[in-house]
Amino acid sequence: MNLQQHKNIIQENGFTVINNIFSTEEIEKISEVIQNIDTSKETFRKSEDLFAIRQFLKEIPEIKDLIFNENLQKIIKDIFGDNYFVVKSIYFDKPEKSNWYVAYHQDLTISVDKKVPLENFGPWTTKQNQFAVQPPLDILENIFTIRIHLDDTDENNGALKVVPKSHAKGIYRPETIDWNVETEHICNVEKGGVMMMKPLLLHGSNRTTNGMKRRVIHIEFSDKELPEELNWPERMNLNLTHNFII
């Protein structure tokens, strides 16, 4: 893996794909843990079109060692840096018959532990007793997202479509996209591969048309501390030098 090259690609285009990060056996172990969990908690959302687990690493702590294998730890250390920690994690399962469609958008909010009036923080939302807020731009610009694919994903089963380099343009309203200037790229990812992206990258996904499921573990990382009034509720520190997660 030429990680320096991938680091340069992310800085330039806002995303990159690296396949063969997890073996078939590792993906099967991760899938097995997910299949055997109690899905009745309020952080779990289940419908015909979507099954999602919010605060994924917090809800299923036994899965951490499977996810942060040596390959992923090396990616985080070499591309992000030593000081990055987990700030958010979600598991998505788009079932085979899912018609879940996601319009182009940027990920403009972070999860926080409470709602407090702070300059340059807002608007606020609350879902299932979880608080989210749009923070100042420098916090968003510093976040990296890793999406771990448990299934082969292409344009026929909801692979992410992105607008390359849109992450470098600040807040970019989807309705203002000028397709005479911008291009669209479909991010095909193999089972066991990862896609990395910056949250400000414009991205969306189409409906599934080939009857194949698409399961993704979405993890966000930052190295920025929040103002003292706020905390990252899902914060998980990574000790990447000793292959050990605390």
pTM reported for the whole predicted model = 0.93
Give pLDDT tens digits for 26-73: 999 999 999 888 777 666 766 555 688 889 999 999 999 999 999 999
pLDDT of residue 43: 62
Number of Cβ within a 10 Å radius of residue 229: 12
If pLDDT is split at 50, 70 and 90, which confidence band does 198 have?
Answer: very high
Share of the chain above pLDDT 90, in %: 75
Q: What is the mean pLDDT of residues 191-203?
A: 98
Q: Contact at 8 Å (CB) between 51 and 215?
A: no
Q: What is the CATH number of the domain that holds 159?
A: 2.60.120.620
32 membership: H or E segment, kind and range: helix 24-35
- Domain residues for 44? 3-245
Give 205-225 pLDDT, tens digit per residue.
Answer: 988 888 788 899 999 999 999
Q: What angle do CA 117, 120, 54 make, to 5 degrees?
A: 75
* Average pLDDT of the chain to the nearest whole number: 91
The rounded distance, in Å, linking the Cα atoms of 92 and 228 is: 31
Q: List beta partners, residue 51.
A: 46, 93
pLDDT of residue 245: 43
| Per-residue model confidence (pLDDT) at position 222 | 98
pLDDT of res. 241: 57
Calculated CA dihedral for residues 60, 65, 71, 77, nearest 10 degrees: 90
- Report how far residue 198's alpha carbon sits from residue 141's, in angstroms, rounded to the nearest whole number: 7
Number of domains within the chain: 1
Pairwise CA distance, residues 49 & 99, whole Å: 6
